[in-house]
Chains A and B, each alone.
Chain A
């Protein structure tokens, strides 16, 4: 299908700290010019009516390819965690990579070890050839330090970032919540929050030794963030991320045994939540992702400890990200660094920014429209959101993938 050139006019371009009035020209699926003075004949014109024009969200670390939810949320690319499958074989990786095309690109994250069992190296090189752009340890960390060290060195030599889940399994065994008043009152097995910092400390030592680049998918505690901050100051190749849940909810959200708030890592204390917000503001946290993990009633309509962790996050990611802007924690430009530019960089994608030559993955955002999160009316194939009932503002109103209108 021949794509006509596209000129989006009357937009607020999100290509710097604050959105600025401008227009953007797309030719052959790529951004051809910002504020062009002339456009080719036959160019289709779209009036943005003053809405924000931003890069499509690149959701780093989702657990399901859930196109309706991604499209609702303005997500044009998703990096798929290797847990389903697991993605430890080049054939599976190739198939997963084709999963969403053309209107959603899925970037599979290769399993670091065979079967994600944490014992033997997976065929990381072959999976890279099959389309994997990074590797991941999955929902848990690699317990064996020797295996982890070899994984890091091996992936680094192939130019791949290792995405890590950081929780010490000895401390978290059997736990479904963070130590604290809430877990104690509810009678839930809990683990100390330092389980995260302990895991991060080990892996940072390995990073320092191997020089391998890593991304801690979720860092959710003050002590964990302190370690990341110090590692960055030292110049180690370390990135870290978070989901909106740990920025806007503390462990009080598990009161009444709400299984939609059962997450991994678990929701933390209010002090840790405040530390996470501060780390977003000071740049310690690099990536904001949805952790999208839709789970039906068979996994969630259970007693809390028997329910599986995870939340459907894709649809609320943008609106909750805009909350960070409204609350003054980040600028719009920095929000889209966290949502698109940094994930693109980590995955080695030529996308994620409004710049000439980048893939025209674009979204229009009405940043003011209020709406209410409703678990019963979600586009995702399950509505397990811990934000059920929360009033939010802002949503994607139009979306292009590689210059092609998706919605």
Chain B
């Protein structure tokens, strides 16, 4: 599978010209070939991660990576931690949601403190859009955005693209329906950017109260009727619906949402017969997705997405620290 989904290295400019960014803040800054470059780099880590007991590559040995999560997270934090450790880095996690930030220290002060500890890379999640950019502007090391508010979650979009590419053999020319709470979703924004950039037809399927204003300006078509939006789709990408959206402000109730926008086996029939079903997790089974769709052995890619997440994050950590490690051509 690897050979069919990766390009020869000669496709890319040499050295650091293949990925000209100090940080990974969002998909918005990337070109299509830079996305491909990361996906190709991730393939080798998929192989390593599947290679039995010894999953170690020590190219980041001696480097310190700080995972500063100003918003609660389990899976993304774990994924970044495993990615860093498999590359041999010293990984430190800071759960800022319960630290000095609560005592009134400003975000910049916290960032400067972390910077003074000489991290070689920082992975940051924050509940406020733009917060990761703000930190990246102040620190000396590469910063990876692990999700900022509703803005971007670039590694999620990269791992989703990798999953699609491995499953369907390509991630261009496809029809992809992104369904659910697009308004509040950074996953949706990063995926819209990445998937349109790679040349796919992207559809948004959401209730009008959860459709972002002017989202059509991001080169997507919008649907409020799910059956229509799923028609002939190659990929159905579900989004998580936060519980607090179902209290009447945006949606009347969970059961009404399920009735209108839940992905049931019957609704999935509208998509192409071999369409895949994706979800960034964690899922609300029985709300946005039925269990027998989520657990479908051939069509659901949900656990594969988690697997690709580690590989993509290993690729990102490797690429962004090359300058620091003095890799030839990366200066």
Interface residues of A (CB under 8 A from B): 179-181, 183-190, 192, 256-257, 298, 301-306
> Quick check: B151 and A186 within 8 Å, CB to CB?
yes
A-B contacts besides A184-B215, A186-B151, A190-B213, 17 pairs, CB < 8 Å: A179-B213, A179-B214, A181-B217, A184-B189, A184-B217, A185-B189, A186-B130, A187-B149, A188-B150, A192-B213, A257-B130, A301-B106, A302-B134, A303-B134, A303-B148, A304-B129, A305-B128
Whether B129 contacts A298 by the Cβ 8 Å rule is no
Given contacts A303-B107, A304-B128, A305-B128, whether A183 and B213 have CB atoms under 8 Å apart is yes
* B16 at the A interface (CB under 8 A): no
Task: Tell me which residues across on chain A come within 8 A of B126, comparing CB atoms.
Answer: 303
Residues on A with beta carbons closer than 8 Å to the beta carbon of B151: 186-188
Contacting residues, chain B, for A305 (C-beta < 8 A): 128-130, 149
Contacts of A189 in B (CB 8 A): 150
Which of B106, B107, B148, B218 touches A185 (beta carbons < 8 Å)? B218
Please state if B133 and A187 are interface contacts (CB–CB under 8 Å): no
B28: interface (CB < 8 Å):
yes
Check if B129 sits within 8 Å of A303, measured CB to CB: yes
How far, in whole Å, are A303 and B106 apart by their CA atoms in the complex?
10
Among residues 25 to 54 in chain B, which have CB atoms less than 8 Å away from a CB atom of chain A? 28
Q: Which of B148, B186, B212, B217 has the most CB of A within 10 A?
A: B212
Q: Which residues, 129 to 159 on B, are CB-close (under 8 Å) to A?
A: 129-131, 133-134, 148-152
Tell yes or no: B114 within 8 A of A by CB. Answer: no
Looking at the assembled complex, report how far the CB atom of A296 sits from the nearest CB atom of chain B, in whole angstroms. 12
Q: Given A301-B108, A302-B107, A306-B128, A184 and B214 touching (CB < 8 A)?
A: yes
How many chain B residues touch A (Cβ–Cβ < 8 Å)? 24
Nearest to A176 among chain B residues (CB) is B129
A185 to nearest B CB, angstroms?
A: 7
Interchain CA distance A304-B132 in the complex, whole Å: 11
A305's nearest neighbour on chain B, judged by CB, is B128
A-B contact pairs, 16 of them (CB 8 A): A179-B213, A181-B218, A184-B213, A184-B217, A185-B28, A185-B189, A187-B149, A187-B189, A188-B151, A190-B213, A192-B213, A301-B108, A301-B134, A303-B107, A304-B128, A306-B128
List, in ascending order, chain A residues with CB within 8 A of B150's CB.
187-189
Those of B170-205 within 8 Å (CB) of chain A: 186, 189
How long is the Cα–Cα vector from A256 to B149 in the complex, in angstroms?
A: 14
Contact of A303 among B131, B189, B217, B218 (CB under 8 A): B131
Partner of B212 from the list A184, A192, A302 (CB cut-off 8 Å) is: A184
Residues in B neighbouring A298, C-beta threshold 8 A: 106
Q: For chain B, residues 252 to 297, give those with C-beta under 8 angstroms from any C-beta of chain A.
A: none
A61 and B29 CA atoms in complex are apart in Å by: 40
In angstroms, Cα B216 to Cα A180, docked, is: 10
Taking A298-B106, A301-B106 as contacts, is the C-beta distance between A186 and B218 under 8 angstroms? no
The 6 A-B pairs with the shortest beta carbon distances in the complex, nearest first, are: A257-B130, A187-B150, A187-B151, A303-B128, A179-B213, A181-B217
Residues of chain A contacted by B107 (CB below 8 angstroms):
302-303
Q: What residues of chain B lie closer than 8 Å to A306, measured between beta carbons?
A: 128
CB-contact partner of B149 in A179, A184, A303, under 8 A: A303
A256 touches B133 (CB 8 A): yes
**Known A256-B133, A302-B107, A303-B149; contact A181-B214, beta-carbon cutoff 8 A:** yes
Interchain CB contact under 8 A, A257 and B133: yes
A304 to B127, CA, bound (A): 11
Interface string of B211-246 (1 = CB under 8 A from A): 011110110000000000000000000000000000
- How far apart sit A28 and B215, CA to CA, in the bound complex (Å)? 63
Docked CA distance A301–B151 (Å): 18
CB distance from B82 to the nearest CB of A (A): 27
Report the minimal beta-carbon distance from A127 to chain B, rounded to whole angstroms.
36
Question: Which A-chain residue is minimally distant from B131 (CB atoms)?
Answer: A303
Residue of A nearest to B151 (CB): A187
Closest B-chain residue to A298, C-beta based? B106
**C-alpha gap A185/B149 in the complex (Å):** 12
Task: List, in ascending order, chain B residues with CB within 8 A of A304's CB.
Answer: 128-130
List A contacts of B217 (CB < 8 A).
181, 184
CA distance A298 to B106 in the complex (A): 8
Assembly CA distance A256 to B136 (angstroms)? 12
If A187-B152, A302-B106 touch, whether A180 touches B130 (CB-CB below 8 Å) is no
CA distance A62 to B19 in the complex (A): 48
Q: Which B residues touch A303, using CB under 8 A?
A: 107, 126, 128-131, 134, 148-149
The reply to whether B214 and A180 form a contact with Cβ atoms under 8 Å apart is yes
A297 CB to closest chain B CB (Å) equals 8
The reply to whether A187 and B186 contact each other, CB–CB distance below 8 Å, is yes
Q: Are B152 and A257 in contact (CB under 8 A)?
A: no
Which residues of chain B (55-108) have a CB below 8 Å from chain A?
Answer: 106-108
Interface centre among B107, B126, B150 (most CB of A within 10 A): B150
Q: Tell me whether A257 and B212 are in contact (CB under 8 A).
A: no
* A374-B130 Cα distance, complex, nearest whole Å: 23
Give A179 to B131 CA distance when docked, in angstroms.
20
Instruction: State the CA gap A302–B129 with chains docked (Å).
Output: 11
Q: Which residue from A180, A181, A192, A257 sits with its C-beta under 8 Å from B134? A: A257
Which chain B residue has the least Cβ–Cβ distance from A178? Answer: B213
Residue of A with least CB distance to B217: A181
